[in-house]
Structure 1
Amino acid sequence: MYTAKGTLNRDDQLRKYSPLVRRLAHHMIAKLPPSVELDDLIQVGMIGLTEAIARFEPAQGVQFETFASQRIRGAMIDELREGDWMSRGSRKSQKDIEGAVHRLQQKLHRPPMESEIAKELGMELAEYQHLLAKVRGTQLVYLEDISGHGDDEDSFLDRHMGDTEAEPSAVLQDHRMRTALVAAIKVLPEREQHIMSMYYEHDMNLKEIAAVLGVTESRICQLHSQSIARLRAKLREH
């Protein structure tokens, strides 16, 4: 594992942890629109892994995999910050869906059905489902959340995926968000709860979830997109 100088053996670590890069890339790509290429994320992630190997110091008392995961994610996020990874039209469509869900929840006092959301948007059900797949709206984070151009002064990712030595207020804010997110997931329709649980708790990708539920991956993508729209609408209350 280590060279004669006490540093990590680069080639050994690259081979051992390249599956970690792929796993993190697959997990992140599901939160992004189709314009983002998986291979691009993997390539950037490998650069992050290389930097982690070079900078890792066992004396810091942190496991290498934890340290490397932070570096890999950070490299991917930096790449997304620099690129125009979500079109303005896609972002608007996502917000339109989120707005429709929010209005219906306020009106119906329950999670609206797909057909009701489609009607609220003035669409046929098939048209709405096509839109869900097109925008791949699975992100709890929008472009302005990442770039820091939204209503908040600090960016979402800087608050929630920043340095491990975060300010206590940021840690508290993250805890509150996670608590609110768990509560919001519990009031999703049962099928969507299962999908979110498999995705976030069991770290399964959309293809694996589709196989478990016996439906197509595109259908899981639609339902996942819809779930996130519901969650963002619910989190607006926190």
Structure 2
Amino acid sequence: MYTAKGHLEHNQLLVQYSPLVRRLAHQMIAKLPANVEVADLIQVGMMGLNDALGRFDANQGVQFETFATQRIRGAMLDELRGADWMSRGNRRQQREIETAVHRLEHRLGRPPLESEIAAEMGLPLGEYQELLGKVRGTQLLYLEDMSSGGGDGEDEFLDRHVGDAEANPMARLQDRRMREALVAAIENLPEREQYVMSMYYEHDMNLKEIAAVLGVTESRVCQLHSQSIARLRAKLRDW
């Protein structure tokens, strides 16, 4: 696979390591909003692989897969940073919903009704439901406003939670604990929202399929999904 000068055979290794790109893309997409397409990550990941093949020097004593993994992840992270993958307006509105849910849960001692959340935000129910549909692309876990830094923190979020977590045992431990807390929080969701989360994340059903099962519109499924995320983040915000 190497040339006489110690460089890699380019075309052969593009094919050989393309499964690595797909694997990294699927690992990353699990931590990103629904509006990020895995095909886009694979495309930029292949560009990162191509860059790695051009830059790799076997004489440096580093395994190619290790070197390539860093380049591929870097290309994907750069793409996410440059694509403004979550608008500031959506982040702000999602935080407003989450804050309202958090206040109501402490006050009522139970998950608030949709109408109660709308009232807490000073919105008519219909307007609140429209807002839920608008923020449908928001992230389930590890949003930037859960970081310790100030500002919007997109870079810190990406580096902490979409980068090479496998190289950090503490990150793996924190991720396991977060998952345990998340399972417990999902069990406390209203029944219909539990169904939505299960069908969407466990059974990989799309919005149209979920809507057919529940007998509602796709836009209603979007609303229920966004509201579920707000409830979960309200539960996990102090984790």
1:66-98 Cα distance to aligned partner (Å, 9 max, x none):
x99x98776444322223333333222111100
Task: Give CA-to-partner distance per residue, 1:173-209, whole Å, 9 cap, x none.
Answer: 1111111111111100111111111222223332332
Q: Is the 8 A contact 2:14 2:49 kept in 1?
A: no
Deviation at 1:167, TM superposition (A): 2.1
Q: Which has the larger radius of gyration?
A: 2
Superposition pairs for residues 1-238 of structure 1, below 5 Å? 8=12, 10=14, 30-32=33-35, 42-49=39-46, 51-52=48-49, 75-136=75-136, 138-140=138-140, 141-143=142-144, 149=150, 155-163=156-164, 165-238=166-239
Matched with 2:56 is none
Shift of 1:213: 2.4
Q: Cα distance, 1:115 vs. partner?
A: 0.6
Q: Distance in 2 between matches of 1:29 and 1:151?
A: 16
Give the drift of 1:116.
Answer: 0.7
User: Cα 1:120–1:182, aligned 2, differ >3 Å: closer, same or farther?
Assistant: same
CA contact (8 A) 2:133 2:223 kept: yes
Distance 1:75 1:129, change over 3 A: farther
Q: Distance in 1 between matches of 2:95 and 2:15?
A: 45
Cα pair distance change 1:182/1:46, threshold 3 Å:
same
CA RMSD of aligned residues (A): 4.2
1:76–1:130 Cα change, 3 Å = farther
Whether the 8 Å contact between 1:45 and 1:75 is mirrored in structure 2 is no
Q: Letter of the aligned partner of 2:88 in structure 1?
A: R
Give 1:163 deviation, angstroms.
1.4
1:122 alignment partner AA: G
**Is the contact between residue 100 and residue 117 of structure 1 (CA under 8 Å) also seen in structure 2?**
yes
Once the two structures are TM-superposed, the CA of residue 126 in structure 1 deviates from its matched residue by 0.6
Judged with a 3 Å threshold, the aligned counterparts in structure 2 of structure 1 residues 84 and 159 are, in CA distance, closer, same or farther, namely closer
Instruction: Tell me the secondary structure at the aligned position of residue 182 of structure 1.
Output: helix
1:160, CA displacement in angstroms? 3.0
How many pairs are equivalent? 223
| 8 Å contact from structure 1 (residues 10, 53) kept in 2 | yes
Tell me if structure 1 keeps the 8 A contact 2:118–2:125: yes
Output the CA distance in 1 between the equivalents of 2:151 and 2:101. Answer: 21
What residue ranges of structure 1 are gaps of 5+ in the alignment? none
**Alignment-mate amino acid for residue 46 of structure 1:** Q
